[in-house]
Amino acid sequence: MRILSIYIATSLDGYIAKPNDDLGFLKSVEKEGEDYGYASFTSTIDTIILGRKTYDWVLKEIGSSHYDNGERDVYVITRTVRPKVGKTNFYNGSPAELVRQLKSKNGKNIYCDGGAEIINELLKDDLIDEMIISVVPVLLGNGTRLFKDGRPEQWLELVSAKSFDTGLAQLLYRRKRSY
């Protein structure tokens, strides 16, 4: 069965963006030739789900090919109906229903690239199987929190922890389905 993973960076105090969706703090851990396992991770997926705000930011800062490389299906969760562009689908239904449909089909794994609203909605429905969380060594103080209140308790098991010379620590957790 396909699994749904998040692969995301957060500050040590749990923020994925500063106010006004500012991701500038991520530059502090950029290093030539270091992708923190991202290429290896993306080789295991063939589908990406993300929110419209995240999509718009990546489109502006990096370009559409970051997601739609012609080899992956991309689903942008949005409230506005838009036509498909390449392999990018603009989906205005329930993210949980989309994930259930995708998990029932054959294919590689599924990657949820955020943002926080989508991740938290999927957590409420207990649909995230794996979390790769890169902790950037900074305390931001405020911004967009990775995890919001109001979701059910969920137990995880630590699969691996890696540290890098930039100070970044990367944690891989899998959902623990039995106790």
* Residue 101 vs residues 57, 85, 105, 135, 153: alpha-carbon distances, Å: 27, 21, 7, 31, 24
CA 135, CA 123: separation in Å to the nearest integer?
19
Cβ proximity of 159 and 122 under 8 Å: no
Q: What is the pTM of this model?
A: 0.91
Res 5 pLDDT > 90: yes
Sheet of strand 4-11, all strands in order from the earlier edge strand to the far edge? 88-91, 73-77, 45-51, 109-112, 4-11, 130-136, 169-175, 156-163
What secondary structure letter does DSSP report for 29? G
CA 62, CA 113: separation in Å to the nearest integer?
14
Say how many residues make up the chain.
179
Tokens coding 125: 């429905």
**Non-local CB neighbours of 113 within 8 Å, separated by 6+ positions:** 6, 7, 8, 48, 49, 50, 54, 67
**Which tens digits make up the pLDDT trace of 18-27?**
998 888 999 9
**Which tens digits make up the pLDDT trace of 88-143?**
999 999 999 999 999 999 999 999 998 899 999 999 999 999 999 999 999 999 99
**Which tens digits make up the pLDDT trace of 44-63?**
999 999 999 888 888 888 87
